Amino acid sequence: MSKVDAILEEARSHLKRLEPHELHALGDALVVDIRPAHNRLAEGEIENSVVVERIVLEWRLDPAGDWRLPGFTADTTVVVVCNEGWASSLAARDLQRVGLANATDLVGGFRGWREAGLPVVRGGSQPVV
């Protein structure tokens, strides 16, 4: 097993990852899209997701931080979405470390969501800065 595979396995051991239909059935989760702008523009986005660039993710989602987004608490279910569900696992692990116990990610990422036939909206939302 490669080092990165071991790191990913360890991160996922702390997550209750969601399948696309499970996320779609949740009504109260904060969905955070960390994909690059070119992917969101070309492929679309999950409706009502919030775009947060990976470089500022922990600062914007620290439930006790001065730079946090409004409208969520340490108890909010936060679901991180990347292209295929790899980088999002590491990001969700990091969000747990800053105090979001219910942070997780989407199995298969955005592409798994789209392949499951779930709704997609036109991409290109501006990231929260």
- Give me the residue label for tokens 């036939």: 117
- Contact in structure between 75 and 102 (CB atoms under 8 Å): yes
Per-residue model confidence as pLDDT tens digits over 32-54: 999 999 999 999 999 999 999 99
> How many other CB atoms are found less than 10 A from the CB of residue 119?
10
Per-residue model confidence as pLDDT tens digits over 42-94: 999 999 999 999 999 999 999 999 999 999 999 999 999 999 999 999 999 99
pTM here is 0.96
Q: Which domains, and CATH codes, for the chain?
A: 3-115 (3.40.250.10)
Residue 22 token pair:
């499970």
Pairing verdict, β 30-33 and 103-105: unpaired
